[in-house]
Structure formats: structure tokens, C-alpha cells
């Protein structure tokens, strides 16, 4: 489960390097699917297979953080363009 969460963090972090940042323009739907949808799917898989409530709480917080950061970046992009 930890490996899935680390992989999700790396994938989202790579997306923040270029395609999801406002300096690169509006991200394409494929970029959002790969760099946001992929990590959320990996963390959701970890959530499903987790047995401890603490791990599920952490997975929920991670999904929320990814979605919040992505929403903020998209909002910033649309306000500046």
C-alpha cells in the first residue's frame, strides 16, 4: 500500500513539474487524466485494500490534497488567462 501511495505522489509531482502548472498553459484532458486521475486511482486502490482506519484516513486526505491542489492550479490558470 505504501508503494502505491509513493508512486501516486511521484506521478502527481511529475505533473506539477510541467503539464499542470499555469506557466505551461491550460492542461489538456489527457494531462489531467494521467497526472491527476492516475494518482487518485492508485491511492483509491490503496484505500480499498487497507485494513486499518488510519491508513484509510490518510488515503482520503491524500486524495483530497491532490484534488485541492489541482483545483487551485486550474482556478489560477483560468483567472490569469
Number of domains in the chain: 1
pLDDT digits (tens, 9 = 90+) for 30-52: 999 999 999 999 999 999 999 99
DSSP 27: P
Question: Which residues have C-beta within 8 Å of that of residue 10, sequence separation ≥ 6?
Answer: none
Is pLDDT above 80 for 19?
yes
8 band by pLDDT with thresholds 50, 70 and 90: very high
Residue among 6, 20, 24 at smallest CA distance from 67: 20
Range of the structural domain that residue 54 is part of: 2-80
pTM of the model: 0.89
> Mean pLDDT of all residues in the chain?
91
Amino acid at each position: 500500500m505504501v508503494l502505491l501511495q509513493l508512486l501516486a505522489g511521484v506521478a502527481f509531482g511529475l505533473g506539477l513539474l510541467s503539464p499542470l502548472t499555469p506557466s505551461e498553459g491550460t492542461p489538456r484532458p489527457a494531462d489531467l487524466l494521467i497526472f491527476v486521475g492516475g494518482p487518485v486511482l492508485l491511492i483509491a486502490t490503496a484505500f480499498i485494500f487497507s485494513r486499518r482506519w488510519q491508513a484509510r484516513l490518510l488515503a482520503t486526505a491524500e486524495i483530497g490534497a491532490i484534488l485541492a491542489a489541482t483545483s487551485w492550479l486550474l482556478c489560477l490558470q483560468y483567472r490569469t488567462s
